[in-house]
């Protein structure tokens, strides 16, 4: 599959996207996407925490001030990407074709 570009996991985390994908998608399902940082500082996707049997699921033990910078970075990145996608395709989330 030539031509596929990959985002570095560190950039994904630093842009606040790990925070947002967990907060808005995984946590409400009782799941959490986890990354691993090895001794050399390399970051990789590690696994998915599974708290589906816990009524609370996964909840951050953080305040807005704790995550403000990453949250704002994520929101800016998301808004930019959504604007570009909408201008190009006329939609943001692709509907599934039922045919």
- 35-57 pLDDT, tens digit per residue, is 999 999 999 999 999 999 999 98
Contact 18, 12 (CB under 8 A): yes
Sign of CA dihedral 87, 89, 94, 99: positive
pTM of the model: 0.86
**Residue written as tokens 């985390």?**
13
Q: What would the mean pLDDT of 69-80 be, rounded to a whole number?
A: 96
Looking at residue 13, its pLDDT comes to: 96
CA distance 96 to 75: 25
Q: For residue 2, name the pLDDT band (cuts at 50, 70, 90).
A: confident
Q: How many CA atoms lie within 13 A of 80 on its CB side?
A: 7
């Amino acid at each position: 599959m030539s031509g596929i570009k990959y985002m570095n996991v560190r950039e994904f985390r630093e842009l606040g996207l790990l925070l947002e994908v967990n907060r808005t998608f995984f946590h409400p399902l009782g799941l959490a996407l986890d990354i691993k940082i090895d001794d050399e500082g390399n970051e990789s996707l590690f696994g998915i925490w599974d708290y589906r049997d816990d009524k609370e699921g996964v909840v951050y033990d953080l305040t807005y001030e704790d995550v403000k910078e990453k949250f704002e970075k994520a929101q800016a990145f998301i808004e930019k990407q959504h604007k570009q996608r909408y201008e190009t395709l006329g939609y943001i989330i692709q509907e599934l074709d039922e045919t």
